[in-house]
Amino acid sequence: MAPFSFIGGLEEVVPMSCQDLKEVDERTKALVIQPYGDRYFALYDGEDLVCVTVYKKGALEVKRRLEMGFAQKND
């Protein structure tokens, strides 16, 4: 069974091939979501703070869009 990637929103799941996974930029692995304070979520690129969101779903969407941008940049 192929790994899955969230493309086009959280409702739509699109399978990715092993080749697609190999082509993903190494930098995207550095994007990490962590709790920020009592009720916020922060997205970090390595040690750099990228953004703070109220909802985790918002942080996941920002991360998804950045990863898509990194993947398109490598094409």
Task: Using the predicted structure, report yes or no on whether residue 72 has a pLDDT greater than 80.
Answer: no
Q: What is the rounded average pLDDT for all residues in the chain? A: 74
- 3-class DSSP string for the chain: CCCEEECCCCCCEEECCHHHHHHCCHHHHHEEEEEECCCEEEEEECCEEEEEECCHHHHHHHHHHHHHHHHHHCC
Overall average pLDDT of the 44-53 stretch: 93
- The reported pLDDT for the residue numbered 8 is 46
Task: Using the predicted structure, report yes or no on whether residue 21 has a pLDDT greater than 90.
Answer: no
Q: What percent of the chain has pLDDT over 70?
A: 59
Tell me the sheet residues that pair with 36.
40
